Amino acid sequence: LARMQTYPATPKPEDVLAAQQADQRNLFFTDVQARGEYPEYMNRYFAEHHIQIAMQPDDQAVLKANPVDFISFSYYMTTVTAADQGAAINGNMATGGRNPYLKESAWGWQIDPIGLRITLNAMWDRYRKPLFIVENGLGAEDKLADGQVHDSYRIDYLRAHIQQMKEAISDGVCLLGYTMWGPINLISFSTSEMSKRYGFVYVDQDDEGHGSLRRIKKDSFAWYRKVIASNGADLN
């Protein structure tokens, strides 16, 4: 699941309801996997969108008997939902409104570390199953200078998110682990660019495929190695 926690644009009840319904549609997949059944709220959605689920006689029993043991998900951002969405913002991974209280990456992905704590608490409360963050990271325009990449912005991003994971664990959330996307520069899934760089290792290649493919450790490499060695205790 790509978890897209959404906030209501205003306290207006219509916006709160729209945000709740958007969250339900995002969590539908995990509801089936974790609870072992199709949630009732989707019955209306299926009916209004003329969707019919072809069920075999024992399908529901098989689902009920085989829920997942833990829940893995990716987290990059939150969105804002309004009943009348108006001009939608496409900078985020999924179409949604922009939050004026958040900063954003060069590609318009809004950065919300506290949203990760909110997400972890909400999913723990909903499912009571151990959680595992399998994707989280920052795509940025890393610049190679004198054979080095000084990506303090990535360290700041990761530190802020790990701090919020710690807060969620203190809140009582059972968090099994965390892996970030991705350790080495690779072609971006969302934009098909090499110049949108993730990870701790720089790869000498441009958007046209030119370059030596030489690997260079960024500043974040040494920092994250220290984080791993200390199990997140040392974030300096």
pLDDT at 87: 47
Contact 186, 120 (CB under 8 A): no
Report pTM. Answer: 0.93
235 domain residue, yes or no: no
**Cα separation, 113 vs 68, whole angstroms:** 27
Q: Is residue 1 domain-resident?
A: no
Provide long-range contacts, Cβ within 8 A and 24+ apart, for 165-170.
165/116, 165/117, 165/120, 165/133, 165/232, 166/232, 167/117, 168/116, 168/117, 168/120, 168/121, 168/124
Question: For each of the chain's 236 residues, which pLDDT tens digit applies?
Answer: 999 999 999 999 999 999 999 999 999 999 999 999 999 999 999 999 999 999 999 999 999 999 999 999 999 999 999 998 754 555 555 567 889 999 999 998 999 999 999 999 999 999 999 999 999 999 999 999 999 999 999 999 999 999 999 999 999 999 999 999 999 999 988 889 999 999 999 999 999 999 999 999 999 999 999 999 999 999 99
Judge whether 234 lies within some domain. no
Q: Is residue 218 part of a domain?
A: yes
Domain interval for residue 144: 6-229
How many domains does the chain contain in total?
1
Residue 3: name the closest of 97, 68, 104, 74 by CA: 74
Q: Is the residue at 199 inside a domain?
A: yes
Q: Does residue 236 lie within any of the structural domains?
A: no
Domain for residue 168, yes or no? Answer: yes
Indicate which CATH number applies to the domain containing 102: 3.20.20.80
Q: What's the pLDDT at 111?
A: 96
**Residue 88's pLDDT is what?**
52
Residue type, 33: Q
- Residue 89: the pLDDT is 52
Residues 165/175, Cβ–Cβ less than 8 Å = yes
How far apart CA 54 and CA 56 sit, in angstroms, is 7
